[in-house]
Structure 1
């Protein structure tokens, strides 16, 4: 799950921010329908996975490796362990997992964990690191896998809407697209072959907050590079970490993946205590933040695709983001990774764009506050015949739009305290209920 926030940039600027944080609605990860995850009819033989496990700059000796296939029965559903034999890291932190496992399909989503092990201070029972690898069919194309705090932060922040713990990462069949996109987003934040941020192939105009990722990695490393400790033991770094996070309604975490998940899901909680955890000489990664942040939301900035004074945005079922630009009279469409789709930005005869919503066919509808109209495009970016709709007197400084179950667009008019209902044929009705006062948005009860 992902949500759009304006944590570091305002919507009036020519950038917008993709914040990787808890979003049960799956706003940007895509709320879509699809075939059951990992339920393909043809099983796929696994591929060998080789790599290294590090705690900060230290190899972790004796860490236990496990490959998991993401769950498919709901959010945070149990993942399936794929290897039955015990695989541990050698004295240099290296490991090798044979390809003697089977995925239920090539699209089954795979992640790797390392637990326990010795980073130099003795075996740490609270140590847990992870890296999201993606579809099973792509494992053979990853030459080397690096597990450290950086891959853990990237994986946990991207997957946090879909996880409740180390062995519980999953999504229902209705949101396969969301989880698939979240796995792919890990590669924007980190290079999984090197354990460094950002990823190896960023789209043009994409900016990753690597310094923040390294700061979070240092927070985890303060526990990883120790002998462990339980919550409530203030003399240990693990104890301090586990006591400083917000576990929601659950118990305090007992491993570093769970602690990272709690931070990702409550990014504004106890920031000061967490920021100072590594101590002045305890930074395993020297490229961290130099000042304490307001929160630990990881926000990726996108500036490409013709974005110009963005006024509103919405996500379609595939996870693509449509941006109504305040200047330029066009609509920008970005893939879930921030890459402009071919043809974007699309001319749409916008005039003071104020709101945007996506219909059931994947096409965007945009309200034009200045033009007193509604513009409409197909899912391919073509202008629909009759658009923009500007029936005189029916749209007066429209500022909000939402769809009902019949596919009708409901539009709030801030200029005359009214609501207009526009159907797909372009016919419009107008209502003036009592109690409205310069409405700026609208929502539709789905029942």
Structure 2
């Protein structure tokens, strides 16, 4: 995979025609508001940073025949009875910036639930001559994509509508690399968790193993709230009280996407209580964990790169990961998405 885009291009590019589907577990979500957002390029958001107008994500949809404005003046499209939605080619994004979808509310079969919040990442807006639709023409939005987006973007996210960086070149590289790692965790076109990273090559030791059972468990935890009839349901109340901004304290989330971001920020908090929410959701996402984990961190395990007793790790300015090997007097190099520079080695977690 390539590394992040660099540069300070101030041009805009067309989004292109993008279609998608939103599901809660195995049920389509109808009547949900679908927002097209771009990460803020002037102010950081992230763990411990207060949400404000200064670091709010930029809304990209505008007034059109199929859009509606909310009370804050942000436009959205609405999912149909089958959970489907369409974005026309009439909208633009800022070159090199990260674009994502955020959905709010809707009915997954029980009743309209304003606590339903989901996310999926479209990618990096092309610099010129291209469209996001050329890279991501179809996007699935469900609890798995929400978990993947929450964890991938968590370093830059205060909540689902406040994701941003300072505008520096280094900040842009970090955010772009974070967005690229979203697709390491999930197939955006199907909403199914990846078991290995897309750059993996079996048989020659170049494999990234994704903690797919843990991701499915986190998705099932969100399903417990999503597929209820009210934001005040027992499942939603349990989720939100155990997924506050500081884990067991701080700001209480009001939607499942922000709850997922808070869990990513505090992976060791309230694991048993959160795991217990999976019990009532049946087989929404399988396979899943069969016991509560020690934490909900999501490390990806990589094989290759000549790793041989790795003991020191550094990250360079473009996000490449370098590991010193105790044996062999060598260095192993991984791209920001975990692709190795050589095809032999032993197992390590990066």
Q: CA RMSD in A?
A: 2.1
For 1:78, the equivalent position in structure 2 comes to 56
Q: Does 1:100 align with 2:90?
A: yes
For 1:247, the equivalent position in structure 2 comes to 245
Judged with a 3 Å threshold, the aligned counterparts in structure 2 of structure 1 residues 212 and 131 are, in CA distance, closer, same or farther, namely same
Residues 219-298 of structure 1 aligned to structure 2 (within 5 Å): 219-230=221-232, 236-248=234-246, 250-280=250-280, 282-298=282-298
Q: Does 1:125 align with 2:114?
A: yes
Secondary structure of 1:277 counterpart: helix
C-alpha distance in 2, partners of 1:205/1:265? Answer: 26
Tell me, yes or no, if the aligned pair for 1:111 and 1:132 is still in contact at 8 Å.
Answer: yes
Q: Does 1:335 align with 2:335?
A: yes
Deviation at 1:34, TM superposition (A): 6.2
Judged with a 3 Å threshold, the aligned counterparts in structure 2 of structure 1 residues 344 and 285 are, in CA distance, closer, same or farther, namely closer
Secondary structure of 1:268 counterpart: coil
Bigger helix fraction: 2
For 1:202, the equivalent position in structure 2 comes to 199
C-alpha distance in 2, partners of 1:344/1:169? Answer: 38
Deviation at 1:136, TM superposition (A): 2.1
Judged with a 3 Å threshold, the aligned counterparts in structure 2 of structure 1 residues 222 and 97 are, in CA distance, closer, same or farther, namely same
C-alpha distance in 2, partners of 1:309/1:283? Answer: 40
Which of 144, 150, 155 is the equivalent residue of 1:150? Answer: 144
Deviation at 1:165, TM superposition (A): 1.2
Secondary structure of 1:213 counterpart: helix
Runs of 4+ in 1 over 4 A off after TM superposition: 32-36, 342-345
C-alpha distance in 1, partners of 2:113/2:93? Answer: 31
**CA deviation map 1:276-295 (0-9, x unaligned):** 11225534113111121100
For 1:365, the equivalent position in structure 2 comes to none
C-alpha distance in 2, partners of 1:343/1:110? Answer: 33
Tell me, yes or no, if the aligned pair for 1:246 and 1:269 is still in contact at 8 Å.
Answer: no
Judged with a 3 Å threshold, the aligned counterparts in structure 2 of structure 1 residues 343 and 125 are, in CA distance, closer, same or farther, namely closer
Point out where structure 1 has 5 or more consecutive residues left out of the alignment. Answer: 1-29, 346-447
Tell me, yes or no, if the aligned pair for 2:120 and 2:141 is still in contact at 8 Å.
Answer: yes
Residues 292-307 of structure 1 aligned to structure 2 (within 5 Å): 292-307=292-307
Deviation at 1:157, TM superposition (A): 0.4
Which stretch has the larger CA shift, 267-276 or 332-341? 332-341
Secondary structure of 2:103 counterpart: strand
**CA deviation map 1:315-335 (0-9, x unaligned):** 111110111011122111111
Tell me, yes or no, if the aligned pair for 2:223 and 2:281 is still in contact at 8 Å.
Answer: no
Deviation at 1:49, TM superposition (A): 1.1
Deviation at 1:33, TM superposition (A): 12
Deviation at 1:251, TM superposition (A): 1.9
Tell me, yes or no, if the aligned pair for 1:332 and 1:344 is still in contact at 8 Å.
Answer: no
Judged with a 3 Å threshold, the aligned counterparts in structure 2 of structure 1 residues 200 and 74 are, in CA distance, closer, same or farther, namely same
Q: Does 1:181 align with 2:177?
A: yes
C-alpha distance in 1, partners of 2:223/2:319? Answer: 33
The answer to which structure, 1 or 2, has the higher relative contact order (CA under 8 A, 6+ apart) is: 2
Count of residues in Structure 1 that have an aligned counterpart in Structure 2: 307
Structure label with greater radius of gyration? 1
Judged with a 3 Å threshold, the aligned counterparts in structure 2 of structure 1 residues 74 and 341 are, in CA distance, closer, same or farther, namely farther
Q: Does 1:136 align with 2:125?
A: yes
Secondary structure of 2:278 counterpart: coil
Deviation at 1:205, TM superposition (A): 1.5
Tell me, yes or no, if the aligned pair for 1:68 and 1:80 is still in contact at 8 Å.
Answer: yes
Secondary structure of 2:221 counterpart: helix
Scaled by the length of structure 1, the TM-score of the pair is 0.65
Tell me, yes or no, if the aligned pair for 1:228 and 1:236 is still in contact at 8 Å.
Answer: no
C-alpha distance in 2, partners of 1:142/1:123? Answer: 29
C-alpha distance in 2, partners of 1:196/1:99? Answer: 26
Judged with a 3 Å threshold, the aligned counterparts in structure 2 of structure 1 residues 280 and 167 are, in CA distance, closer, same or farther, namely closer
Deviation at 1:108, TM superposition (A): 1.9
Judged with a 3 Å threshold, the aligned counterparts in structure 2 of structure 1 residues 281 and 133 are, in CA distance, closer, same or farther, namely closer
Tell me, yes or no, if the aligned pair for 2:20 and 2:84 is still in contact at 8 Å.
Answer: yes
